[in-house]
Structure 1
Amino acid sequence: MTTTCDILITGGRLIDPQHSTDEITTIAISQGRIASLGEQSLEADRVIDASGKIIAPGFIDVHSHAQNIPGHRLQAFDGVTTTFEMEAGASPVASALEWAASEGRPLNYGFSAGWLHTRARVLENYDDDALAALPDLPLDSMGVISAQGSLWNAPATAEQREEIIRLLEEQLDAGAIGIGVLLGYAAEAEPAELMAVAELGARRNMPLFVHTRIGPMLPGKTPLEGIEELLEASLATGAHIHMCHFNSSASSHPREAREKILAAQAEGVRFTTELYPYGFSSTVIGAGFLDPEILEAAGRPPGIITPVATGQPAESYAEIARLRQEDPSQLCLIRYYQDPWDGADLAEVMSLPGALFASDAMPLKPLQGQGEVDIMQWPLPEGVSAHPRSTACFTRALAWLHRDRGLLELSDVIARSTVMPAQLLRGAIPAMERKGHLGLGADADLVIFDLEALQPNTSISPVEASRGVEHLLVGGTPVISDGELLTGALPGGAVLPSNP
């Protein structure tokens, strides 16, 4: 029996959906793990009084592009303890892992094998020097790749396809924890290539994280076609395919898409999806589906596009074309719903059964005319911007969907943020068995928050941390204590396929 521990948490309401726990209890932490539950007479180096607060497993974000220290800090105030770059991924993965380890990270992290990065390496003939010259942040390197050439979006030959698969498998061997497939950004890739990637995923028991080929912006097509392509690939190969950001990708036909997905899941197709609680998305303005001619043909007005650097909606298709020409890697916002904050149609989408929450967090960018801004400062300086989902996905789900609207039960919101994303990866990543719950022996990744005091950040600029998370521990090490960030705390580590 445990008699001493490193940290003792008392008086809090523990909600742990994996174990169907919802009770006031005491939690003891030793050597980075949950050592005991419910024991009262323990000595501890530190006691945290969580009375009146909720204790939950740390949130697991399978879709975050904000994979640097400032991004992790903001996500910590969103209750996140483990954050993965799974949609875009990285290639070479070893370089991404080395970069993150060399700087240190507040949160646990990991990368999928990036199909688009890998595709560019093959079709654009990137040598070692060209790879080394790319930015460290995978999303930034994707932006540079898209700006430097166009061959990466061309159909691949059979030989090139074989090389792409070989390099993807090499990334899995190097520590990738899935395969990221930005299919919507390289829509000229032939269906046979997607099928080959799915076969690799099935063979290695690694899920695919896919941005669908066909979204709501393409004239004459519907998202249902893109979803059907993914369902067919999963059914044909047995691969687990995870569709990214259902709320934006299926925004033009959400009810039909919902029915199609639920029917396929009921038949045993290995298919999952995710949501973030906003009706506008963010990506690089050079994305192919944001071509002004495509937008106009689809009947989408230019004002649905807002460059993050200016914060002002585009006034014309010509302005969008100019911005794409000047810097295709700059970030923009795309409005998909009439009311992107609180609309009934968005709320209905967010109730999709079985869909987990994932932020699609974006890295901080300077506002237009700001020049260099030190994003390592804390609190963050003025002059930076980001989609609010980068600071408030999980806290907004808790506050908007549960506390304010009562659309989802509290345990459901927490399950979609903890055990469900953990389960998505457990078949491939043994270390995920210890995450997403707070049972005995689990990693001491946890969040303590005040539900009534939650104030999710809603600002694009200035960028502020959300409020209401009072304590956040990663592997038993405090990152947030009494609502304050411990700027020197970098306890995060890489989650790898071979982790014990």
Structure 2
Amino acid sequence: MKMKFQTKIKLTTLSLMAVLGTALSFSAVSETYDVVINNGRVMDPETNFDGVRNVGVKDGKIVVITKDEIKGKQVIDAKNHVVAPGFIEGHQHATDPFSRKVNLRDGLTTMMDFESGAGDIAKWYADAEGKTQSNYGMVVLATLARVSVLDGPEIAALGNDMGGLFAHTVGAAAAKAQKEGRKPGWSSTLPNKEQMTQIMSYVDEGLRQGALGVGVPVGYMTTGVTQYELYKYQELAAKYGRVTNGHVRFAGIRPPTEGQLGVQEMLANAMVLDAPFMASHLNSNMDWEYTIPMINDAREKRGAKVWGEVYPYAAGSTIAATDILTESSMAQMGITYSNVANLDGTRWDKAMYEDVRKNDPGRAIVIYNNPPEDIAKWIAQPGVVIVSDGMAILDENLEYYPWDSSYEGKSVHPRSAGTRAKVLRMVREDKNMSLMEAISKMSYLHAKYFDELAGIPHFKTKGRMQEGMDADIVVFNPDTVRDNSTYEPGKGAIPTTGMPYVLVNGVVVVKDSVVQKVFPGKPIRFPILEKGRLDQIEIEPRVFTPNQS
């Protein structure tokens, strides 16, 4: 009797489970989703899932991934296409609407600048609200803090992001400095206690306003920022539990100032402080064969909150005033004047070098400092994330282009438009890593580091093709996707092809390879705090006389 009763309970339970399963399946089938992506090869880099499924999106989230037929208000047929997490990066300098449009064609759904950042964080986020197509976030920029204190707040006010900094602020600071018979303060002045306190107060206010971290491109300020000042930036960021990004002090492969030494300087600070540190573009600083394994060992064997990034181009791009173009630094890198070119392709000689660095220090240039055959090697290195280091796309008056401007006729480094497609094309042609690994390095691995190492909670639900995750999604054809931007004048912003659909927060932003005029981007930002934390650090710098070398 007891056995029969137990059997009856088991049968009833199984029957109930079957009914519930059928009901759940029926619910998934019968529900109408905002967007349905059918027949695509869904690839999730966190779980390594790789299979043909249908995806249902509702209220900005991935609600269902299923073999069942599902219905939607908008339906995308993704047959023969990969359905992957939207791409993420923390090193895209261009934050204007046109540049975001170009990068959406390249699958970039979360677009942030951790190397440079902004000066006035509250203003930057306010300007972006409701007018941004991709997700957006920003760090506070130490350089603009130094400009404000050492060159004047009126100079700092000329630019609140990298585009404005390079186009207007750097040149104005240089002109003022020449008039006053000194070097620009932001790059060359060793601040006293009062000045450094003001600089740190500026940075502290950015962190209080919710900045994601601190951007310290010390490689542009090699003679003005002491190791003590650099440590203080990292210490202040650590008081908030936030990341410091470093374009490190040195580049090159020859002693005494190899790229590895620059990484070690900030890595040591991070490990002492138990603080997050993100090393910018390890390929362009050179020495990547040694710095990438060193950072990986620090993270994986020592528990350090550190990681590094690379981009898939042999040449870099920056401004003429950069410290890496001092003659001694060029010797360290093994390059000379002719390795530098204007955006119109004109190669420099000594006369142009001297003229441009003095009279047009904010000019965007290209530096050819790495062998092209090494690209496939460094992007395949374990543990690194892939970024673009994309530059602002500016017109002849050094202003941003309007959103509806043509893609043609724009002279800029091609990484500003084609980074992710180039990686996918290289995977197809060179087979230097698996497609899943490439997708991971452009999506999930970013999210993992930003969440687990940098403490940014928004990334718990990004970079994944899973139910319950944010519906930031890219659909591309692995057999045809390709980059089309080149170094040729006028062709730097030619968009990616083979990536016909992109979703941001469940909204179709790219449809049939046309960017729609919709603005679903959401801010990636920490809560605004009532009080800063500058009073938690001590500021006692050495006094230098003179204060410029």
TM-score between the two structures when normalised by the length of structure 1: 0.91
1:182 and 1:373 map into 2 onto residues whose CA distance is 23
Q: CA separation of 1:373/1:222 partners in 2, compared to 1, >3 Å: closer, same or farther?
A: closer
SS of alignment partner, residue 490 of structure 1: coil
For residue 376 of structure 2, what is the aligned residue in structure 1? 347
Displacement of 1:222 in angstroms is 0.9
Q: Which runs of 5+ in 1 are unaligned?
A: none
Letter in 2 for 1:279: A
Identity of aligned residues (%): 25
Displacement of 1:263 in angstroms is 3.2
Letter in 1 for 2:420: F
Displacement of 1:219 in angstroms is 7.4
Contact 1:9 / 1:28 at 8 angstroms: preserved in 2? yes
For residue 249 of structure 2, what is the aligned residue in structure 1? 213
Q: CA separation of 1:254/1:371 partners in 2, compared to 1, >3 Å: closer, same or farther?
A: closer
For residue 212 of structure 2, what is the aligned residue in structure 1? 177
Letter in 2 for 1:290: L
For residue 12 of structure 1, what is the aligned residue in structure 2? 40
Superposed counterparts of 1:277-426, under 5 Å:
277-292=312-327, 294-295=329-330, 300-308=335-343, 310-314=344-348, 316-338=349-371, 340=372, 343=373, 345-366=374-395, 374-382=401-409, 384-400=410-426, 402-426=427-451
Letter in 2 for 1:210: G
Contact 1:292 / 1:320 at 8 angstroms: preserved in 2? no
| Structure 1 stretch displaced more, 287-296 or 150-159 | 287-296
2:517 maps to 1:483: no
Q: CA separation of 1:373/1:137 partners in 2, compared to 1, >3 Å: closer, same or farther?
A: closer
1:232 and 1:372 map into 2 onto residues whose CA distance is 39
1:272 and 1:436 map into 2 onto residues whose CA distance is 17
The match for 1:152 among 173, 186, 189 is: 186
Contact 1:218 / 1:294 at 8 angstroms: preserved in 2? no
The match for 1:42 among 58, 67, 70 is: 70
2:406 and 2:390 map into 1 onto residues whose CA distance is 19
SS of alignment partner, residue 129 of structure 2: helix
Displacement of 1:137 in angstroms is 4.0
Letter in 2 for 1:419: Y
SS of alignment partner, residue 497 of structure 1: coil
For residue 469 of structure 1, what is the aligned residue in structure 2? 499
**CA deviation string 1:143-196 (max 9, x = no partner):** 533331411222222333233222212111212112111110111211111111
2:394 and 2:405 map into 1 onto residues whose CA distance is 15
For residue 533 of structure 2, what is the aligned residue in structure 1? none
1:451 and 1:445 map into 2 onto residues whose CA distance is 19
Contact 1:7 / 1:29 at 8 angstroms: preserved in 2? yes
Contact 1:81 / 1:108 at 8 angstroms: preserved in 2? yes
2:394 and 2:288 map into 1 onto residues whose CA distance is 31
Superposed counterparts of 1:21-32, under 5 Å:
21-32=49-60
1:346 and 1:34 map into 2 onto residues whose CA distance is 34
Letter in 2 for 1:45: K
TM-score between the two structures when normalised by the length of structure 2: 0.83
For residue 295 of structure 2, what is the aligned residue in structure 1? 261
**CA deviation string 1:416-466 (max 9, x = no partner):** 111111122224322221211122221111000001111212413323101
1:361 and 1:373 map into 2 onto residues whose CA distance is 14
**CA deviation string 1:224-249 (max 9, x = no partner):** 21111122111111111110001111
For the pair shown, the structure with the greater C-alpha radius of gyration is: 2
Q: CA separation of 1:492/1:372 partners in 2, compared to 1, >3 Å: closer, same or farther?
A: closer
Displacement of 1:393 in angstroms is 1.1
Q: CA separation of 1:196/1:419 partners in 2, compared to 1, >3 Å: closer, same or farther?
A: same
Q: CA separation of 1:374/1:193 partners in 2, compared to 1, >3 Å: closer, same or farther?
A: closer
2:235 maps to 1:202: no
SS of alignment partner, residue 393 of structure 1: helix
Letter in 2 for 1:61: E
1:335 and 1:43 map into 2 onto residues whose CA distance is 51
Superposed counterparts of 1:113-262, under 5 Å:
113-126=140-153, 130-132=155-157, 134-147=158-171, 148=173, 149=177, 150-153=184-187, 154-188=189-223, 189-216=225-252, 220-249=256-285, 251=286, 253-262=287-296
2:469 maps to 1:439: no
| Structure 1 stretch displaced more, 160-169 or 282-291 | 160-169
SS of alignment partner, residue 53 of structure 2: strand
1:434 and 1:91 map into 2 onto residues whose CA distance is 28
2:132 maps to 1:105: yes
SS of alignment partner, residue 312 of structure 2: coil
1:263 and 1:45 map into 2 onto residues whose CA distance is 48
Displacement of 1:381 in angstroms is 4.3
2:541 maps to 1:494: no
SS of alignment partner, residue 385 of structure 1: coil
SS of alignment partner, residue 239 of structure 1: coil
1:374 and 1:89 map into 2 onto residues whose CA distance is 20
Letter in 1 for 2:391: M
| Structure 1 stretch displaced more, 290-299 or 228-237 | 290-299
1:135 and 1:167 map into 2 onto residues whose CA distance is 15
Q: CA separation of 1:301/1:481 partners in 2, compared to 1, >3 Å: closer, same or farther?
A: same
Contact 1:217 / 1:289 at 8 angstroms: preserved in 2? no
1:201 and 1:48 map into 2 onto residues whose CA distance is 43
